[in-house]
Chains A and B, each alone.
Chain A
């Protein structure tokens, strides 16, 4: 593991945009009065002529992005996940998804780790909303290096992409010298044969710590980082189901409609094995410090370890 540094994936996203913009003139960035929070302000400072604030009008922002893409540009439109995928869902579906336009949508402050702002801003439905749109690629990078690579891959992919960004600074656990990102290809972080844990996004590192702790306690769990929710990596899921016989998913998202159900659909149709979903259990969040909320919702390493132990003892 590389020497870790804590950085929020929203910050990595802003840095990645700047890197890409150096080489690609067609990249434009739109925001809806949240540049300081989504970190597109990093891009805004570097490329003020290619940054367009749309004001607090997310529906229009997505439509403008569609028009820019229809005219050959590659717009990245950023807002909080709540507004980019919730408020503007229908614009994303009809103005971007239906015509399959080359728009990249970034939803920051996803999940309960938004923290103090509370339930109105804690979007635990974005992955579900975006993955129901035909042709939409849905990415949920787990750390700095993955976000840098995912943003580049999103640019290179021709078509609509949703990328989930986190607010909370997290460990950069991937090894930048030994890391490759490919849309739709999960990454095995730990080998194991008793059970497979499939995690996504901000909680991958927490799951990694949990899986390592469990190994010392005799549970030999495999861990897969599923950075792409759609298209889901069927092969890695089927292989894991066949080889370990049970799958546990971990996501900072409603257990309805997210990673867990995407994985369960693959197993149900191909290789039925028990699938248990760890996540936000169909409830709204509430205010509090992000780390405290992750603990309360059982989505820190300790909580994940406890839940896996419970599931395995049944």
Chain B
């Protein structure tokens, strides 16, 4: 991508982060840390990569995205709203009674959400099913899924990994948002998920490790995945939990907590300063 395209993506990611914070603040609950770590990848997918049409969200030929780490939907909702699937007004009532936007993604009622998810480990299996369906129907759509690093402690992730590899689902690209933190502490302290690249490699995946906040690296990895035949690809994206909001960065406490009014103001000021700097 050229410099102006890169700049546009960075600006969009900044807006995605602002709407993420907006949603979680208004909900008075939710998961800002992992949403912010995933924001750049989600922005890349919806604003640079995926064939999706907000006017035709159920198009059978569209690319699909399954947010297996469903609790990070504030970032997904922000991207979908900015893309035009629904109004940003919906984000202001995220998690409220009667609201469309649920605490975890609900495909039945939310345009653009390809799979209901949130119970960890399940989304990647559904992504496998979508990828298999695409192959059986000779469709050239691609399926993207995003796992959390802590989520990889779920056994079902590895059942799905075996399946994806066995059925040669090369139209499936899985991101692992490797921010290193989960509710009870660091991923290494909680359950010792070391050598995740070797794990996926031994399950038959093409493994690419990148900086999950570097759009050029994201693009290169996605393009490599598209060229990889007969096996699925996993992109281990090293990220910073809470990325973009200084006091949330790398703090385990911001996994599942909403900012108070003061914190909200600081966060929004920081993000708008970042946007201004990009626009300057």
Q: Which residues does A use to contact B, with CB under 8 Å?
A: 28, 50, 52, 54-55, 57, 59-73, 75, 90-91, 94-95, 98-100
Contacts and interface: CB of A to CB of B under 8 A. Distances in A.
Interface in B118-145: 118-119, 121-134, 136-137
A75 B132 CA distance: 12
B60 A70 contact: no
A73 B159 contact: no
17 contacts: A54-B163, A55-B159, A59-B122, A60-B156, A63-B126, A63-B128, A63-B129, A64-B132, A64-B160, A66-B115, A66-B122, A67-B125, A69-B129, A71-B134, A75-B129, A98-B106, A99-B107
Contacts of A61: 125
Contacts of B137: 71-72
Closest 8 CB pairs of A and B: A67-B129, A63-B125, A71-B133, A60-B159, A57-B159, A67-B126, A64-B129, A68-B129
A16 B133 CA distance: 22
A95 B60 contact: no
A63 B64 CA distance: 15
A63 B107 CA distance: 15
A94 B125 CA distance: 12
B48 interface: no
Q: Which of B114, B119, B123, B159 has the most CB of A within 10 A?
A: B159
Given A59-B125, A60-B163, A62-B125, A67 B130 contact: yes
B83 to A, nearest CB: 20
B126 A94 contact: no
Contact of A94 (B118, B131, B136, B163): B118
Q: Which of B66, B107, B116, B166 has the most CB of A within 10 A?
A: B116
A1 B110 CA distance: 52
Q: Which of B118, B126, B137 has the most CB of A within 10 A?
A: B126
A63 B130 CA distance: 10
A136 to B, nearest CB: 15
B162 A55 contact: yes
Interface of B: 60, 64, 66, 106-108, 114-116, 118-119, 121-134, 136-137, 155-156, 159-160, 162-163, 166-167
A309 to B, nearest CB: 48
Nearest to A56: B159
A68 B156 CA distance: 17
A51 to B, nearest CB: 12
Contacts of B124: 63
B21 to A, nearest CB: 27
Contact of B129 (A59, A70, A90, A99): A70
Contacts of B108: 98-100
Nearest to A98: B116
Given A64-B128, A64-B132, A70 B114 contact: yes
Contacts of B132: 52, 64, 67-68
A71 B129 contact: yes
A89 B65 CA distance: 24
Contacts of A71: 60, 64, 129-130, 133-134, 137
B268 to A, nearest CB: 33
A303 B32 CA distance: 61
A59 B159 contact: yes
A70 B129 CA distance: 8
Contacts of B166: 55
B228 to A, nearest CB: 20
Contacts of B116: 94-95, 98-99
A60 B118 contact: no
A70 B113 CA distance: 11
A65 B122 contact: no
A304 B266 CA distance: 72
Contacts of B156: 57, 59-60, 63, 91
A62 B123 CA distance: 11
A60 B125 contact: yes
A65 B119 contact: no
Contacts of B129: 63-71, 75
A60 B108 CA distance: 21
A249 to B, nearest CB: 34
A24 to B, nearest CB: 14
Contacts of A65: 129
Contacts of B128: 60, 63-64, 67
Contacts of A59: 121-122, 125, 155-156, 159
